[in-house]
Amino acid sequence: MPAKVWAASLAASRRRLATDMVGISLSAAGFGVVYGVAAHGVGMSVLEAGSMSLVVFAGGAQFAVLGYIVGGYPWLAIVLLTSFINARHLLYGIVLAPYLADRPRPLRAVMAHVLDDETFALSIAHFRRIGRADLPGYWIAAIGGTFFPWIAATLVGVAVAGSLPDPARLGLDVIFPAAMAGLAVGLVTDTRELIAAVVGGATAVGVSLAFGPPIGIVAGGLVGPLVGMAYGWRGGRR
């Protein structure tokens, strides 16, 4: 691809990335406020809740930790259960790995820390549009899309928790499911991916109801892609 054409394609894709990021940032901020309020409810200080968002940076796992703390779970059990919840990030890393194989390992480790559902969806769509990795684009998606909004909103949520009603009464508890559904729809581009999304979602819900969300998330994340790949092989696709 000629340099001028490549530069124009990159610029256009980054503009698309910035546009898509706006809605993601707003949902991350709203969800972060809900987390801050919930963290305050279990006795966390602003420093404790903010540190968890900075170091752990995993919305679903952080909410699970609050429930486990209330339930009196030992710390080892909390670590193991939240590791199951975050196991889906291994799948994200597998998908991104071919684009980043030539990057230094320390850099990839830092990139992995800020990798979440939203960052993956934004960055993989961007990489596919331009046909290669774009580190500035990745940092735009990660830092601007979720990392900064999430941490800032966490601090705000804890600080104003005493003056806010129950988030469920305001409908804020649906922000995370709605955001995840929107991301899933945006990533579906063909029948194979639609089948993977539907099977993965159904498996996750069913297993979660039977055995708990941590196992359900892992089961859905594994079964959905496997069924999608099987469909692709049956149709002659690699």
Return the percentage of the chain with pLDDT > 90, whole number.
20
Distance CA 209, CA 222 (A): 17
pLDDT score at 99: 94
| 140 within 8 A of 16, measured Cβ to Cβ | no
pLDDT at 187 over 70: no
9-13, 111-115, 234-238: which range is least confident on average? 234-238
Q: What is the dihedral of CA 131, 186, 169, 66, to 10 degrees?
A: -50
pLDDT score at 107: 94
Residue type, 238: R
pLDDT score at 180: 62
Average pLDDT over residues 220-238: 73
pLDDT at 206 over 70: yes
The 10s digit of each residue's pLDDT in 148-178 is: 999 999 999 898 876 665 555 555 556 556 6
Which ranges of 42-190 does DSSP label H, i.e. alpha helix? 46-55, 59-70, 75-85, 88-100, 105-113, 117-130, 135-139, 148-160, 175-187
pLDDT score at 97: 93
| 178 within 8 A of 27, measured Cβ to Cβ | yes
What is the pTM (predicted TM-score) of this model?
0.75
Q: What is the mean pLDDT of the chain?
A: 82
The 10s digit of each residue's pLDDT in 67-92 is: 888 888 888 888 888 887 787 788 88
Average pLDDT over residues 106-111: 94
Distance CA 87, CA 100 (A): 20
The 10s digit of each residue's pLDDT in 2-37 is: 666 667 788 889 998 988 888 888 888 888 888 888
